[in-house]
Amino acid sequence: MARFAGGKAPFLRISDQPNQGTGIIMRDFMIGLAPVILFSWYKNGIQVMIDGNIGFFEMLYPLIFILLGGLMSLIMEGITLYIIHPDSRSLKGVMAKLSTSYPMVPGLLLAMVLPLYTPVWVLIFGCFMGTVVGKMLFGGFGHNIFNPALIGYLTIAVTLTGVINAAGGVFNASEVLVDSYAGATPLTLLSRIKELDYDKLVAPYGTLWNFFLGTIPGALAETGALAILVSYGWLVYRKVIKWFTPLIYVGTVFVLSWFIGIASGEPGIWFPLYSILSGGLMFGAVFMATEPVTTPRNPLGKVVFALFLGVFTVLFRYISTLPEGVATSIVFLNIFTMPIDNWTAVIRARGIKKQTAIKASVFAVLFIALVLYAILKAGSMYTAFIQGPIGIGGWF
Amino acid sequence: MKVFFGKHGFILILVAIFVLIFGLGGVYSRFMTSELEEHIEENATGAEYALYLEMFPGADTLTPYTPGEVSKTYPLAGGRGDFAPTVDKALKILQGTSEKGVVYVINTKGKEPMKVGVGISLENDACVGIAVLEQNDTPDYFSQLGDPFYSQFDAKALSDLALAVDTFAGVTYSSKAFEIALFYARELYAADYDFVIPTVAMTLVKLEYNFDPTTFIASPYIANIIYGDQDTEAAVMLSASFDYVGLVGGGTDLEADFQAAVKALAQGAGTLNTQASFVSFDEENNTLVMQTKGYNPNAIQASIVLNDTLDIVVSITFVSMETYANQGGYGDYTGGPAPAVENNLRNQYLADGDPNVDGVAGATVSSNAVRSLLQLLDGFVEAQNGGE
């Protein structure tokens, strides 16, 4: 029984049938990325050119940059395969391996979570860290422990943030002219002022409607909540991802943010909405927390994984000095994917019984302890609280 | 070779593509960064030019030009020596093809370097506006300069001999920066256009403090001048802003041109430290009240008890709201709260009678302010003793 605990019977072999298998999944995943890529291009390129703030070649940059990320990952994986597999040193051999390993995905995702003015060499460095170090050195697709794109992202965040800021940073040529932004994204602002004040956190960027549409400053593709939701719908429809993983992840952040707000002085329901619409949470929830290799495979494992992701994102975001928290929490929890997968598979197969109760209790106690700590600690750190607009109409 | 490329050709192509992307991508990134910097600069220039056009209703075009070379120096506020302003750029303001005015962007100095644009109308030879482009003066002070201060530049005739800026109380350093810019703009304007700066025959012989307790509040300064065709000598009393008050000992007032001239000369002299001043004198109790400007917007006030002949200081009591932290001194301030620094300097003065007391580390601004007050007090005491 334990042999089959990682999945749920019946095990249908359909991956070798026409129109099934990884090729189709990859195609659907790429289609899922398209709305977010196009939104990113529109927001940081087309719209800025319409505003009259950039020229044609600058308008193309966001799209080229993202596609370049995918291409660089593909090339690096190809070169790595050539080096480490002497038996496949031919175009045909390498292509055969590439066709089943999602080679472009790490680079594409990485480029999408980087600031617009990231120099291309920084992107290439990130692709190297993600694809070669984060993926290929672990054995390639299916063997990597960490999300490759996020390995690249975190390496860049730790070592090259100054280079990116010197090259222009996160603001596009229209946003950089808006005085009210004061050079800060919404989450950077929160980490600076430590005040849950609608007038300071939301009003400079418009309303929460702007947060939903994605017309606020942020990394290339992370701000477009609406576009991400469209992608989410497609990926769920095509069964590329499980519908509940992003929902539980975002929902946990929403509820915890709400309680943190209450513990800190009740700023209003706008704050949890601000919390889930800011930064890369939505993007990470849909495209990274659902990654098939580095996250648990069984549904209960996915639920537990998503719950803990939510808690750790809140912890990193509101208690540490990191303004974002999504990438760190996903990579951190990648470490625990296997134990979560194993334990939850057993619990799922056997139910809550004497043998599994301890495992379930460990999850529950750990989760509750972290939740309480997050609420109490963050609640004590954010001291100034001012009510947002009364009624939902004021937020949008 | 053919076999080698047949086997390894595709990987070489991959590497070549990689290198190509690396190189071209770098160029593209650099292009993006330089374009962004250019857009930001263009936008800033656009906003700056909009400010200038606002000064001249109906104007629609600006044309940069090279102004005449003018070299002048002006005394800085607080006796900090002379400063030579420079012109950053000059712009002709046009309405269609008709020239309406000129804007000089001048590098001046308040407490710190400042850049301002001075608009001058050709129609009436008057300053029609001033725009602050860069400034680094202390925000708490600079922010006190509001519309009442800036509105004096909306119609300021350059034919006014004194052309003095009404200083905003407590913001003397920054106010002086505007005055320097205005004076220098007038010089540039005279060099570029058919405009003559008015002059009056007058020499400032000496500018000193007024130590007469009966008049020093309304007239804290006395200027000794020689003026007119006949080289007439006179001693005139001046207000805290160097406005003419009257002749020492009375007599027929100076004519308006001479009054303006003495103000201009006294303002430009920069020989007096105007940081400290007299507030009141109680003759019955021999109590002198003085004030001086330190770090806090509220002045430091000192109540000084003198002996019957007014030539010995009996006691000095300070009322102060100073905060000594972050005053730019050498080392951090480690003493007690106000008026600890004031009392320290007072004790030094009372011990040896020398007003040039040592400052307290970490409280440079407050120390300088108190030292100015003690120097003025010492001058007062000496004056009562016949200078002995």
Helix (H), strand (E) at residue A280: none
Tokens representing B133 are 């482009």
Spell out which residues of chain A touch residue B15, defining contact as CB-CB under 8 Å. Answer: 79
The reported pLDDT for the residue numbered A183 is: 72
Q: What are the φ and ψ backbone dihedral angles of A338, each rounded to 5 degrees?
A: -65, -50
Helices and strands, number each (H, E), in chain A: 19, 2
**In this complex, do B36 and A168 lie within 8 Å of one another by their Cβ atoms?**
yes
Partner residues linked to B132 by β-bridges: B116
The reported pLDDT for the residue numbered B330 is: 53
Average pLDDT value for residue range B294-307: 87
Q: Which residue's entry shows tokens 């019977």?
A: A9
Residue predicted with more confidence, B215 or A246: A246
**In this complex, do B29 and A119 lie within 8 Å of one another by their Cβ atoms?**
yes
CA A50 to centroid of chain Cα atoms: 29
Spell out which residues of chain A touch residue B36, defining contact as CB-CB under 8 Å. Answer: 117, 168, 173, 176
The reported pLDDT for the residue numbered A386 is: 56
Nearest to B295 by CA among B341, B357, B236, B350: B341
* E strands, chain A, in order: 195-197, 384-386
Q: Is the pLDDT of residue A392 over 70?
A: no
| A10: confidence class by pLDDT, cuts 50, 70, 90 | very low
Average pLDDT value for residue range A73-94: 85
**In this complex, do B26 and A117 lie within 8 Å of one another by their Cβ atoms?**
no
Among A28-42, B70-84, B171-185, B353-367, the range with the most confident prediction by mean pLDDT is A28-42
Q: Which residue's entry shows tokens 């058919």?
A: B194
Spell out which residues of chain A touch residue B47, defining contact as CB-CB under 8 Å. Answer: none
Q: Which residue's entry shows tokens 């407050």?
A: B366
**In this complex, do A79 and B14 lie within 8 Å of one another by their Cβ atoms?**
yes
Average pLDDT value for residue range B164-178: 79
Average pLDDT value for residue range B129-142: 84
The reported pLDDT for the residue numbered A14 is: 55
Q: Most B CBs within 10 Å: which of A120, A122, A132, A172, as the mutation test of the B interface? A: A120
B229-253 pLDDT tens trace: 777 888 999 988 888 998 887 777 8
The reported pLDDT for the residue numbered B301 is: 92
**Residue B121 and residue B35: Cα distance in Å, rounded?**
36
**In this complex, do A68 and B21 lie within 8 Å of one another by their Cβ atoms?**
yes
Tokens representing A308 are 């803990």
Closest Cβ–Cβ partner in B14, B25, B28 for A75:
B14
Cβ atoms of A264 and A58 within 8 Å: the answer is no
Spell out which residues of chain B touch residue A68, defining contact as CB-CB under 8 Å. Answer: 21, 25
Partner residues linked to B225 by β-bridges: B204, B234
Question: How large a percentage of chain A has pLDDT more than 70?
Answer: 90
Spell out which residues of chain B touch residue A124, defining contact as CB-CB under 8 Å. Answer: 21-22, 25
Partner residues linked to B317 by β-bridges: B303
**Residue A213 and residue B247: Cα distance in Å, rounded?**
74
The reported pLDDT for the residue numbered A118 is: 95
**Residue B8 and residue A339: Cα distance in Å, rounded?**
43
Roughly how many angstroms between the first and final C-alpha of chain A, as a whole number? 53
CA B222 to centroid of chain Cα atoms: 22
**Residue B112 and residue A142: Cα distance in Å, rounded?**
62
Cβ atoms of B120 and B185 within 8 Å: the answer is yes
Cβ atoms of B188 and B181 within 8 Å: the answer is no
**In this complex, do A177 and B40 lie within 8 Å of one another by their Cβ atoms?**
yes
Spell out which residues of chain A touch residue B28, defining contact as CB-CB under 8 Å. Answer: 57, 61, 64, 120
Residue spans of alpha helices (H) in B143-238:
147-150, 172-192
Among B84-88, B144-148, B330-334, the range with the most confident prediction by mean pLDDT is B84-88
Cβ atoms of B207 and B272 within 8 Å: the answer is yes
Residues 6+ apart with CB under 8 A from A268: A198, A261, A387, A388
Residue spans of alpha helices (H) in A12-160:
22-41, 47-50, 56-84, 91-98, 105-112, 120-127, 148-159
B174-229 pLDDT tens trace: 888 998 999 999 999 999 998 888 777 788 888 889 888 888 888 999 999 888 77
Cβ atoms of A214 and A43 within 8 Å: the answer is yes
Q: Label the pairing between strands B244-247 and B276-282.
A: unpaired
- Pick the residue from chain B with its C-alpha nearest to A68: B21
DSSP annotation of B235 reads E
Question: How large a percentage of chain A has pLDDT more than 90?
Answer: 53
**In this complex, do B11 and A177 lie within 8 Å of one another by their Cβ atoms?**
no
A19-35 pLDDT tens trace: 666 678 878 889 999 99
Average pLDDT value for residue range A300-315: 94
How close B330 gets to chain A, by Cα (Å)? 30
The reported pLDDT for the residue numbered A391 is: 55
The reported pLDDT for the residue numbered A27 is: 85
Closest Cβ–Cβ partner in B8, B25, B39 for A120:
B25
Q: Is the pLDDT of residue A332 over 80?
A: yes
Burial of A102 (0-12, 13-18, 19+ CB in 10 A): buried
**Residue B253 and residue B256: Cα distance in Å, rounded?**
9
Chain B interface with A: residues with Cβ < 8 Å: 7-8, 10-11, 14-15, 17-18, 21-22, 25-26, 28-33, 35-37, 39-40, 43
How close A232 gets to chain B, by Cα (Å)? 31
Average pLDDT value for residue range B58-75: 89
Tell me how far CA of residue B81 lies from CA of A226, B78, B109, in angstroms.
Answer: 62, 8, 12
Spell out which residues of chain A touch residue B19, defining contact as CB-CB under 8 Å. Answer: none
Spell out which residues of chain A touch residue B35, defining contact as CB-CB under 8 Å. Answer: 54-55, 58, 173
Q: Which residue's entry shows tokens 């625990």?
A: A336
A179-236 pLDDT tens trace: 777 778 888 888 888 888 888 888 889 899 999 999 999 999 889 899 999 999 999 9
Burial of B378 (0-12, 13-18, 19+ CB in 10 A): middle
Q: What are the φ and ψ backbone dihedral angles of A207, each rounded to 5 degrees?
A: -125, 180
> How many residues are there in chain A?
396
**In this complex, do A120 and B33 lie within 8 Å of one another by their Cβ atoms?**
no
The angle at the Cα of B377, spanning B354 to B336, to the nearest 5 degrees, equals 70
- Pick the residue from chain B with its C-alpha nearest to A122: B26
Closest Cβ–Cβ partner in B18, B26, B39 for A119:
B26
Q: Is the pLDDT of residue B164 over 90?
A: no
Q: What are the φ and ψ backbone dihedral angles of A117, each rounded to 5 degrees?
A: -95, 30
Cβ atoms of A245 and A295 within 8 Å: the answer is yes
**In this complex, do A177 and B33 lie within 8 Å of one another by their Cβ atoms?**
no
- Pick the residue from chain B with its C-alpha nearest to A52: B39
Cβ atoms of B271 and B240 within 8 Å: the answer is no
- Residue A53: strand, helix, or coil: coil
| A377: confidence class by pLDDT, cuts 50, 70, 90 | confident
A and B: number of Cβ contacts within 8 A: 79
Spell out which residues of chain A touch residue B32, defining contact as CB-CB under 8 Å. Answer: 58, 61, 117, 167-168
**In this complex, do B10 and A94 lie within 8 Å of one another by their Cβ atoms?**
yes
Lowest average pLDDT, out of A86-90, A363-367, B324-328, goes to: B324-328
**Residue A28 and residue A50: Cα distance in Å, rounded?**
31
Cβ atoms of A300 and A347 within 8 Å: the answer is yes
The reported pLDDT for the residue numbered B258 is: 86
**Mean pLDDT over each residue of chain B, to the nearest integer:** 86
Q: What pTM value is reported for the model?
A: 0.65
Closest Cβ–Cβ partner in B11, B35, B37 for A79:
B11
The reported pLDDT for the residue numbered A307 is: 96
Q: Most A CBs within 10 Å: which of B3, B11, B27, B40, as the mutation test of the A interface? A: B11
